[in-house]
Structure 1
Amino acid sequence: MPNSGAEMFARYAYAPNRLGYCGPPDAVALRDGSDEQVRAVARRFSGAWPYLQVMATMTGIADPLDRRLVESYWLGGGVGATLDPAEFTAELLALLGPVAGGYWTHLTAQLADEAAANHCFHVFGVYPWSRLLGHDSRHPLHVLDSCRITWATVLDRTDGEVVLSYRRLDWDGQRLALAPETVQPMPIRVDGYAAVPDVSVGERVAVHWGRLCGRLDEIQVRDLAAVTVRQLEATNRRLARSTARPVPR
């Protein structure tokens, strides 16, 4: 388990950064850098860093990369779970709004209805992908499922890969939900890097963009599952409102 907040941030941020989806083009610093190098890179994440800043301000924790804040952001639960949604939304939008641009017109105070101080809210509420679900939803669904943090159980291990059991995201044309358990192999090491090189059968692990990013204890699994279900319910309520038709008089 990562010993510091900076190390945990790096493990969870590395996969999407390496794939070019978020953060500055400096994946090597996340993978191999010192604590200070990771901190310098983290400040340039236009998505995650504002959350950590607002969470630090609202909790009175001085360091945005304090382990308590980083864990709460990625996995839910913890110190961010009790923050007032309306206040959090206002503070977050004050930071995100100036850099979001006109494409992100959905970033309004109405987001408080589904807001939470964690990555799952960012994926489903702030990113636009849940609003792009429609007739052909394969790509938006893939992005949503890959970008959320998924919990999984290690069923088997060979020298180079593990076999995981976990639940994918499903879309039936109207609602998002977690599908039944599925089994899939996953490499332990990608591009010469392994976040959990000594992973063992029976362990619970976190997956981000198809890569292992950390071990999970039972409390972390519980928190991650709870915030995921909560966010799916909030997203489904919004999607239902957006597709509702007025009743003819």
Structure 2
Amino acid sequence: MATTATAGEVLFARYAYPPNELGYCGPADADAVLDVAAAAAGGMIERVQAFDGAVAYLEVIAAAAALPPLDPRVVEAYWVGNELLDRVDPAQFAKDIRVRFAGETGANWEVLAGGLPAVAHHSFQVFTVYPWVGLLGRGATNTAGGPALHILDRCRIRDGTVLAVEGDEVVVRSRPLTWSGRELGLGEPVEERARWAQAGRSLLAAVVPGDMVSLHWDWVCDRLTPEQRDELQRRTTDQLALTNAAAPVRQA
């Protein structure tokens, strides 16, 4: 008997599918995750444990909020941000995350050793736990950031405004991640292309010009309210400030 995806499962799948499609995380059956994201099937609960990085954060947020890990508010808190993040004790989270990701090569634990707060948001995973920030200084083109900057920019959840819809793709305006040679920042808005659907399956209902959306890798994940956009922007700029204050950003 077919099961129906819950709202939390659908929301999680919308954000988790883009890196899963690329093979960076999650189960091998990325098409099944896309089906959940398209609300065409259930079963995300059986697959979510394969997203071990995200699960660690969901469990921490859920425990602090006394909610299930796949409650929509918990899922939103991790990927976009909301008030549930403020219920997580930063000191305890810092201890937990170091244990859970002790084997992560290149993690920037200096952020925590210096006493800066750790927030259970996806941006913390991208800019602190993943190794890419430490690779920004490599090569002759320091200020360009190279492949590491591109990966950081695509891996973070970013907001944008839809300018045009062209089949399964959209043209959006968003602020790219920048690298000065010493610090990360956000540049002036530029146009980029992203997918919102693939072969008739989409991560959300049809988008229209003017929609404010969230993006992960080269996919549109969800439609954002003004409040959600502001929250995502605040969490992003706060994390960039913490990352920049952690050294300066490490030079390889």
Quickly name the TM-score band, shorter chain normalised: 0.7 to 0.9
Alignment-derived partner of residue 126 in structure 1: 129
Q: 1:167-214: CA deviations, max 9, x gaps?
A: 000001011000001012333323553213410111101110111111
Conserved 8 A contact 1:72-1:118: yes
Pairing 1:94–2:99 present: yes
Q: Which residue matches 2:230?
A: 222
Greater CA drift, 39-48 or 131-140: 131-140
- Stretch of structure 1 that moved more, 86-95 or 219-228: 86-95
- Is residue 51 from structure 1 mapped to residue 54 from structure 2 by the alignment? no
- 2:182 aligned counterpart, secondary structure: coil
Residue of structure 2 aligned with 1:173, choices 166, 175, 181: 181
**Deviation, structure 1 residue 105:** 6.0
Matched, 1:231 2:239: yes
Matched, 1:76 2:81: yes
CA–CA distance in 1 between the matches of 2:243 and 2:174?
Answer: 21
Structure 2-normalised TM-score?
0.86
Q: Which residue of 1 aligns with 2:153?
A: 145
Gaps of 5+ in 1: 244-249
CA–CA separation in structure 1 for the residues paired with 2:114 and 2:57:
14
Residues 80 and 228 of structure 2 are in contact (CA less than 8 Å); yes or no, is this contact kept in structure 1?
yes
Decide which of 177, 190, 200 is 2:198's aligned counterpart. Answer: 190
Give the Cα–Cα distance (whole angstroms) in 2 for the partners of residues 41 and 32 of structure 1: 12
Q: State the percentage of identical aligned residues.
A: 37
Distance 1:111 1:40 in 2: 38
For structure 1, which segment, 8-17 or 230-239, has the greater mean C-alpha deviation from structure 2 after superposition? 230-239
1:200 matches 2:208 = yes
**Partner SS state of residue 52, structure 2:** coil
Q: What is the distance in 2 between the residues matched to 1:178 and 1:44?
A: 32
Does structure 2 conserve the Cα–Cα contact (< 8 Å) formed by 1:89 and 1:112? no
Post-superposition Cα deviations, 1:116-139, rounded to whole Å, max 9, x if no partner, equal 111011100111111111043311
- Partner residue of 1:246? none
Moved segments of 4+, more than 4 Å? 104-109
Q: Which amino acid aligns with 1:12?
A: Y
Aligned to 2:142: none
Gaps of 5+ in 2: 140-144
Counterparts of 1:107 and 1:42, CA distance in 2: 26
**C-alpha RMSD over aligned residues:** 2.1
State the shift of 1:82 in Å: 3.7
The change in CA–CA distance for 1:241 and 1:204 in structure 2 (over 3 A counts) is: closer
1:76, 1:117 within 8 Å by CA — same for their partners in 2? no
**Which position in structure 2 is the counterpart of 1:117?**
120
Asked if structure 2 preserves the Cα contact closer than 8 Å seen for 1:132 and 1:140, the reply is: yes
Separation of aligned partners in 2, 1:143 and 1:49: 21
Cα distance in 1 for residues equivalent to 2:228 and 2:34: 23
Give 1:92 shift. 2.5
**1:138–1:114 Cα change, 3 Å:** farther
TM-score normalised per structure 1: 0.87
Match in the other structure for 2:70: 65
Q: Equivalent residue of 1:154, what SS? A: strand
SS in 1 for 2:185: strand
Shift in Å, 1:106: 4.2
Q: CA deviation at 1:115?
A: 1.4
Q: 1:41 pairs with 43, 47, 59, which one?
A: 47
